[in-house]
Amino acid sequence: MEPESLYNLLQLPREVTLPAEEALPGGGKRKYLPPTSRKDPKFEQLQKVLMEWINATLHQEHIVVRSLEEDMFDGLILHHLFQKLAALKLEVEEIALTTASQRRKLGVVLEAANRSLQVEEPQAKWSVETIFNKDLLATLHLLVALARHFQPDVPLPAGVQVEVIHIESTRTGLRSEKVVEQLTECSSTQDQPPQDVFDELFTLAPEKVHTVKEAIMSFVNQKLERLGLSVQNLDTQFADGVILLLLTGQLRGFFLHLKAFFLTPSSPEEMLHNVTLALELLKDEGLLSHPVSPEDIVNKDAKSTLRVLYSLFRKHAGDGRPHEPPN
């Protein structure tokens, strides 16, 4: 894969300009849901199930939702839905006509919903601002949380995730990165990835984990030596994605343009960007046979980190022939 294609993989097309209503002020940030994500069948199915659930719940009140993006933002339907689910009455006006009163009403509803869901506002994946601005992802996160909490038998599709583009306005123009956002968890056995040798290792022979780590770390340091780098802790030093990207590039012959990743990441978002890119490269090369979540690598999950490094170890250790995990 050429360096330029790597850059394009994670950036908006250079000629694209955002519509006027989406123009960002300096330092502003926004999430953009590309058409390919909107058309994802599981994403569309999730919206369909949630709308049917809301309409069935509020049938006696003659409320019909046709668009989660357009019908939920002002708090009116959320007000009726939450009162019905929680069986309590909120002290807020029934009809809010002005922007200020709609925001106030929405704030009261979300505050009550967060209390019921036991979610602190900073940790919530929704807010008055995002819901009122018709942020579909924020609205979906809220509705999924309400459904799971109050009516867990609602048949939400499992494992729904979409690719989102995060856009930030900087002094040099728009900067963007792709992030995979999880909307529903894998809940059924068929949605779970099959177990591999590392699941068995950590479960059945945890005393051998250290031996495996030493073997892989020796391999990693041997390959990084020509870059003047070394690793002392596999669990922590791959969390920001930098060494993983450099190691992958070294072994697979990639030249990674500095515009494609963050050499000194300063936030979890930048670390996630790096790790996501590294996993995409490994998948493109056919090396990553078992699903790995980039969030797990960032969160220093030892099993996931070993799984990724073993994909390189198996291909490139020794004479290049496939190796079995150390016993």
Per residue in 296-322, pLDDT (tens digit) is 898 888 888 998 999 898 888 754 444
Of 5-14, 28-37, 317-326, the one with minimum mean pLDDT is 5-14
DSSP state of 117: H
**pTM (global) more than 0.85:** no
Q: How confident is the model at residue 1 (pLDDT cuts 50, 70, 90)?
A: very low
> Tokens in use for 97?
């006509």
Q: Which run of H or of E encompasses 143?
A: helix 136-150
CA distance 5 to 190: 34
Could you give all domains of the chain from N- to C-terminal order, each with its CATH number?
24-189 (1.10.418.10), 193-316 (1.10.418.10)
Q: Cα–Cα distance between 229 and 223 in angstroms, integer?
A: 9
Cα gap 95→75, rounded to integer Å: 10
Report strand pairing: 161-170 vs 173-182: antiparallel
pLDDT at 14 over 60: no
Distance of alpha carbon 34 from alpha carbon 167, whole angstroms: 12
CA distances 282 to 195, 291, 297, 315, Å, are 19, 11, 14, 11
On the question of pLDDT at 12 being above 90, the answer is: no
3-state secondary structure of 39: coil
Binned at pLDDT 50, 70 and 90, residue 239 comes out as very high
Report the alpha-carbon distance of residue 318 to residue 313 in Å, rounded.
9
Provide the pLDDT confidence category of residue 8 given band limits of 50, 70 and 90.
Answer: very low
Q: Which residues contact residue 236 at a Cβ distance below 8 angstroms, ignoring those fewer than 6 apart?
A: 300
CA distance 238 to 242: 7
Q: What is the structure's pLDDT at 10? A: 35
Cα separation of 231 and 218, whole Å?
Answer: 9
As a whole number of angstroms, the distance between CA 242 and CA 171 comes to: 25
Q: To which residue do tokens 């999950």 refer?
A: 301
The total of other beta-carbon atoms located within 10 Å of residue 181's CB is: 17
Cβ–Cβ < 8 Å for 212, 323: no
Q: Which residues pair with 174 in a beta bridge?
A: 169
